[in-house]
Amino acid sequence: MTDIPQDRPEVCDYTDQEPVVDRLRQLILSRELRPGERIVQSELAEQLGVSRTPIREALHKLDSDGLVRLSPHKGATVADHSTAELEDIYSIRIAIEGYGAFLAAQNITGQDLARLEGLVEQMKEVFDQGDRWRLLEVNRKFYEVLYAIAGRPRLYDLIMKHLDLADMYRQMAFAIDH
């Protein structure tokens, strides 16, 4: 299993599953845990400074999100998606994000619009700087804000799940390119 780089903050002392889910998602999307890589719960628990229980719960959550594959008697591995799965992911995104944007447009306030415009400006600056990784972060924040405005928590979760899956492909492409 890949060691967690020492220059990254560790989760440490969390008993709640969500910070562990967030940290594992970050490790997968940044490709510190690579597609097809086996995840050893005991090693990961030790590296993150948590018990195996939140690791196990986080892996179940990430399995349902499509970032991890859980197999009986084999354990957990980082999901390795095919081109056909990527096409499915984008087809779903097209359908649900259009609806999410429609709902957001009905609910948006002046303050919301200003925040989104600020994020667009940030994306332009980061793009001009050529920082692809930071661009993905700011882009994600834009989507989080936009779809939160829609006011539909289940739709928001579904969109974020498919955004994570698409981001995994984008980040793999960035890693290959560099």
Give me the CATH topology for the region 83-177: Four Helix Bundle (Hemerythrin (Met), subunit A) (1.20.120)
Q: Which residues does 175 contact at the CB level (< 8 Å), separation at least 6? A: 31
In contact, 77 and 41? CB cutoff 8 Å: no
For the record, the structure tokens of 29 come out as: 């999307």
Quick one: pLDDT at residue 142? 98
Domain boundaries, the chain: 17-78, 83-177
3-state SS class at 12: coil
pLDDT, tens digit only, all 178 positions of the chain: 444 434 333 434 444 678 899 899 888 877 889 888 999 999 999 999 999 999 999 999 999 888 899 998 889 999 887 788 889 999 999 999 999 999 999 999 999 999 999 999 999 999 999 988 899 889 999 999 999 999 999 999 999 999 988 887 777 666 655 5
CA 162 to chain centre: 9
Residue 83: its pLDDT value, please?
82
Q: How far apart are the first and last CA of the chain?
A: 22
Tokens of 105: 């447009």
- Which residue type, as a one-letter code, is found at position 35? P
For residue 32, what are the contacts with CB-CB under 8 A and spacing of at least 6? 2, 4, 5
pLDDT at 133: 82
- The amino acid present at 28, given as its one-letter code, is I
pLDDT of residue 149: 98
Separation of alpha carbons 147 and 19, rounded Å = 21
What is the model's pLDDT at position 175?
61
The pLDDT value given to residue 64? 86
pLDDT at 172: 66
State the residue for tokens 């692809």: 132
Choosing among 3.40.640.10, 3.40.50.300, 3.40.50.2000, 1.10.10.10, the CATH entry for 17-78 is 1.10.10.10
Q: What are phi and psi of 36, to 5 degrees?
A: 85, -10
